[in-house]
Amino acid sequence: LTMTASHTITCLLTTALLLSSCKPEIVEVKPDEPTNPQKHETITLGGGCYWCVEAVFQQLDGVISATSGFMGGHIPNPTSEEVYSLTSGHIEVVQVVFDPQIISAPEILKWFWKAHDPTDPRGQGVDKGPIYMSYIFTHSPKQRELAETSKKEAQTNFDAPIVTTIQDAEEFYAAKEEHQDYYFRMKGENPYCPQQITPKLKKLGLDY
Protein backbone atom coordinates (compact mmCIF):
# COMPACT_ATOMS: atom_id res chain seq x y z
CA LEU A 1 0.00 0.00 0.00
CA THR A 2 1.16 3.54 -0.68
CA MET A 3 1.45 5.98 2.22
CA THR A 4 -1.64 7.83 0.94
CA ALA A 5 -3.73 4.66 0.67
CA SER A 6 -2.61 3.49 4.10
CA HIS A 7 -3.50 6.85 5.60
CA THR A 8 -6.94 6.75 3.97
CA ILE A 9 -7.68 3.28 5.32
CA THR A 10 -6.55 4.33 8.80
CA CYS A 11 -8.84 7.37 8.71
CA LEU A 12 -11.79 5.26 7.56
CA LEU A 13 -11.24 2.74 10.35
CA THR A 14 -10.91 5.50 12.95
CA THR A 15 -14.11 7.15 11.72
CA ALA A 16 -15.97 3.83 11.85
CA LEU A 17 -14.82 3.23 15.42
CA LEU A 18 -15.87 6.71 16.49
CA LEU A 19 -19.27 6.34 14.87
CA SER A 20 -19.85 2.94 16.44
CA SER A 21 -18.91 4.26 19.87
CA CYS A 22 -21.58 6.95 19.50
CA LYS A 23 -24.35 4.48 18.75
CA PRO A 24 -26.70 3.71 21.67
CA GLU A 25 -26.15 0.37 23.33
CA ILE A 26 -28.61 -2.22 22.08
CA VAL A 27 -30.02 -4.29 24.94
CA GLU A 28 -31.10 -7.75 23.89
CA VAL A 29 -34.62 -8.48 25.12
CA LYS A 30 -35.70 -12.09 25.23
CA PRO A 31 -38.19 -12.85 22.45
CA ASP A 32 -41.81 -13.72 23.21
CA GLU A 33 -42.34 -17.37 23.98
CA PRO A 34 -45.26 -19.53 22.81
CA THR A 35 -48.26 -19.08 25.07
CA ASN A 36 -49.63 -22.18 26.79
CA PRO A 37 -53.13 -21.59 28.24
CA GLN A 38 -52.62 -24.59 30.52
CA LYS A 39 -49.51 -23.10 32.14
CA HIS A 40 -49.67 -19.35 31.68
CA GLU A 41 -51.83 -16.51 32.97
CA THR A 42 -52.74 -13.18 31.39
CA ILE A 43 -53.25 -9.79 33.00
CA THR A 44 -53.73 -6.48 31.19
CA LEU A 45 -52.27 -3.30 32.64
CA GLY A 46 -52.71 0.39 31.89
CA GLY A 47 -50.04 2.61 33.38
CA GLY A 48 -49.59 5.49 30.95
CA CYS A 49 -47.87 5.20 27.58
CA TYR A 50 -47.73 1.55 26.58
CA TRP A 51 -44.13 1.94 25.38
CA CYS A 52 -43.14 2.66 29.00
CA VAL A 53 -45.11 -0.21 30.51
CA GLU A 54 -43.92 -2.71 27.90
CA ALA A 55 -40.25 -1.81 28.48
CA VAL A 56 -40.63 -2.78 32.14
CA PHE A 57 -42.60 -6.01 31.92
CA GLN A 58 -40.86 -7.52 28.92
CA GLN A 59 -37.68 -7.71 31.01
CA LEU A 60 -39.06 -9.67 33.96
CA ASP A 61 -38.20 -13.33 34.42
CA GLY A 62 -41.32 -15.41 33.99
CA VAL A 63 -43.02 -12.99 31.60
CA ILE A 64 -43.77 -14.85 28.37
CA SER A 65 -44.88 -11.83 26.38
CA ALA A 66 -45.78 -8.15 26.81
CA THR A 67 -47.92 -6.78 23.99
CA SER A 68 -48.90 -3.13 23.59
CA GLY A 69 -52.48 -2.41 22.62
CA PHE A 70 -55.87 -1.09 23.65
CA MET A 71 -58.71 -2.18 25.93
CA GLY A 72 -61.78 -0.80 27.63
CA GLY A 73 -63.58 0.89 24.76
CA HIS A 74 -66.94 0.49 23.06
CA ILE A 75 -65.95 0.39 19.37
CA PRO A 76 -64.82 -2.97 17.92
CA ASN A 77 -61.46 -2.93 16.12
CA PRO A 78 -60.83 0.77 16.78
CA THR A 79 -58.61 2.76 14.45
CA SER A 80 -55.80 4.88 15.85
CA GLU A 81 -57.84 7.96 14.97
CA GLU A 82 -60.81 6.70 16.99
CA VAL A 83 -58.60 5.89 20.00
CA TYR A 84 -56.63 9.11 20.07
CA SER A 85 -59.58 11.35 19.30
CA LEU A 86 -61.15 9.82 22.45
CA THR A 87 -64.20 8.60 20.58
CA SER A 88 -63.64 4.86 21.11
CA GLY A 89 -63.19 4.90 24.90
CA HIS A 90 -60.08 2.72 24.80
CA ILE A 91 -56.94 3.22 26.85
CA GLU A 92 -53.35 2.21 26.13
CA VAL A 93 -52.51 -1.07 27.86
CA VAL A 94 -49.96 -3.84 27.84
CA GLN A 95 -51.24 -7.41 27.87
CA VAL A 96 -48.83 -9.45 29.99
CA VAL A 97 -48.68 -13.25 29.69
CA PHE A 98 -46.68 -14.83 32.49
CA ASP A 99 -45.73 -18.17 34.01
CA PRO A 100 -47.04 -18.20 37.61
CA GLN A 101 -44.49 -20.89 38.48
CA ILE A 102 -41.76 -18.28 37.92
CA ILE A 103 -43.48 -14.95 38.69
CA SER A 104 -46.79 -14.77 40.54
CA ALA A 105 -49.68 -12.39 39.90
CA PRO A 106 -48.94 -10.53 43.19
CA GLU A 107 -45.34 -10.04 42.03
CA ILE A 108 -46.54 -8.73 38.66
CA LEU A 109 -48.76 -6.27 40.51
CA LYS A 110 -45.92 -5.10 42.76
CA TRP A 111 -43.99 -4.17 39.63
CA PHE A 112 -47.09 -2.41 38.31
CA TRP A 113 -47.36 -0.15 41.37
CA LYS A 114 -43.64 0.68 41.18
CA ALA A 115 -43.63 1.31 37.44
CA HIS A 116 -45.99 4.30 37.44
CA ASP A 117 -47.80 6.79 39.68
CA PRO A 118 -51.21 5.24 40.40
CA THR A 119 -52.34 8.35 42.29
CA ASP A 120 -52.42 10.64 39.24
CA PRO A 121 -55.97 10.86 37.84
CA ARG A 122 -54.79 12.79 34.76
CA GLY A 123 -52.41 10.22 33.25
CA GLN A 124 -48.68 9.70 33.54
CA GLY A 125 -45.82 12.17 33.21
CA VAL A 126 -46.09 14.12 29.97
CA ASP A 127 -48.84 11.76 28.76
CA LYS A 128 -52.10 13.21 30.01
CA GLY A 129 -55.67 12.25 29.19
CA PRO A 130 -58.14 9.36 29.54
CA ILE A 131 -56.14 6.98 27.34
CA TYR A 132 -53.26 7.07 29.84
CA MET A 133 -55.21 6.29 33.00
CA SER A 134 -54.15 3.67 35.54
CA TYR A 135 -56.07 0.41 35.03
CA ILE A 136 -55.87 -3.26 35.93
CA PHE A 137 -57.96 -5.52 33.70
CA THR A 138 -58.24 -8.90 35.38
CA HIS A 139 -58.83 -12.19 33.60
CA SER A 140 -60.38 -14.27 36.39
CA PRO A 141 -62.29 -13.77 39.66
CA LYS A 142 -59.20 -14.93 41.59
CA GLN A 143 -57.01 -12.43 39.79
CA ARG A 144 -59.46 -9.62 40.54
CA GLU A 145 -59.40 -10.55 44.22
CA LEU A 146 -55.59 -10.47 44.18
CA ALA A 147 -55.64 -7.10 42.43
CA GLU A 148 -57.99 -5.57 45.02
CA THR A 149 -55.80 -6.90 47.85
CA SER A 150 -52.64 -5.67 46.14
CA LYS A 151 -54.15 -2.20 45.69
CA LYS A 152 -54.91 -1.94 49.40
CA GLU A 153 -51.39 -3.05 50.28
CA ALA A 154 -49.84 -0.62 47.79
CA GLN A 155 -51.78 2.31 49.24
CA THR A 156 -49.48 2.29 52.28
CA ASN A 157 -46.65 3.43 49.96
CA PHE A 158 -48.47 6.52 48.70
CA ASP A 159 -49.67 9.65 50.48
CA ALA A 160 -52.39 10.41 47.91
CA PRO A 161 -55.18 7.91 47.23
CA ILE A 162 -54.62 5.37 44.46
CA VAL A 163 -57.03 6.04 41.60
CA THR A 164 -56.39 2.82 39.65
CA THR A 165 -59.54 1.25 38.23
CA ILE A 166 -59.83 -2.54 38.54
CA GLN A 167 -62.29 -4.26 36.23
CA ASP A 168 -62.81 -7.42 34.24
CA ALA A 169 -60.83 -7.75 31.03
CA GLU A 170 -62.53 -6.87 27.76
CA GLU A 171 -61.53 -7.39 24.13
CA PHE A 172 -57.85 -6.65 23.59
CA TYR A 173 -56.66 -5.03 20.38
CA ALA A 174 -52.93 -5.21 19.74
CA ALA A 175 -51.24 -2.06 18.49
CA LYS A 176 -49.50 -2.05 15.13
CA GLU A 177 -46.20 -3.92 14.85
CA GLU A 178 -44.21 -0.67 14.82
CA HIS A 179 -45.36 -0.02 18.39
CA GLN A 180 -44.17 -3.39 19.74
CA ASP A 181 -40.78 -3.67 21.52
CA TYR A 182 -40.67 0.07 20.92
CA TYR A 183 -38.19 1.30 23.49
CA PHE A 184 -35.37 -1.10 22.68
CA ARG A 185 -35.80 -0.57 18.94
CA MET A 186 -36.27 3.20 18.95
CA LYS A 187 -34.39 4.61 21.96
CA GLY A 188 -31.66 5.92 19.66
CA GLU A 189 -34.14 7.60 17.31
CA ASN A 190 -37.13 8.91 19.29
CA PRO A 191 -36.11 11.43 22.01
CA TYR A 192 -39.17 10.42 24.02
CA CYS A 193 -37.45 7.16 24.93
CA PRO A 194 -34.34 8.49 26.73
CA GLN A 195 -36.28 11.41 28.16
CA GLN A 196 -39.29 9.54 29.54
CA ILE A 197 -38.58 5.81 29.64
CA THR A 198 -34.87 5.51 30.44
CA PRO A 199 -35.15 7.28 33.84
CA LYS A 200 -37.97 4.91 34.80
CA LEU A 201 -35.92 1.83 33.90
CA LYS A 202 -32.89 3.15 35.77
CA LYS A 203 -35.01 3.79 38.86
CA LEU A 204 -36.36 0.25 38.73
CA GLY A 205 -32.90 -1.28 38.26
CA LEU A 206 -33.74 -2.69 34.83
CA ASP A 207 -31.82 -2.69 31.56
CA TYR A 208 -31.95 0.52 29.58
**9: confidence class by pLDDT, cuts 50, 70, 90:** very low
113-170 pLDDT, tens per residue? Answer: 999 999 999 999 999 999 999 999 999 999 999 999 999 999 999 999 999 999 999 9
C-alpha span between 42 and 37 (Å, rounded): 9
For residue 165, the cross-strand partners are 135
Instruction: List the catalytic residue out of 22, 49, 52, 193.
Output: 49
Cα distance between residue 47 and residue 41, in whole Å: 19
The CA distance from 94 to 188, in Å, is: 22
Q: For residue range 84-109, list pLDDT tens digits in order.
A: 999 999 999 999 999 999 999 999 99
Could you give phi then psi for residue 74, rounded to 5 degrees?
-120, 5
CA distances from 90 to 66, 79, 113, 207 (A): 18, 10, 21, 30
DSSP single-letter state for residue 180? T
Asked if residue 185 has pLDDT above 70, the reply is yes
Is position 193 annotated as part of the catalytic site?
A: no
DSSP conformation class of 194: I
Residue 146 identity (one-letter amino acid): L
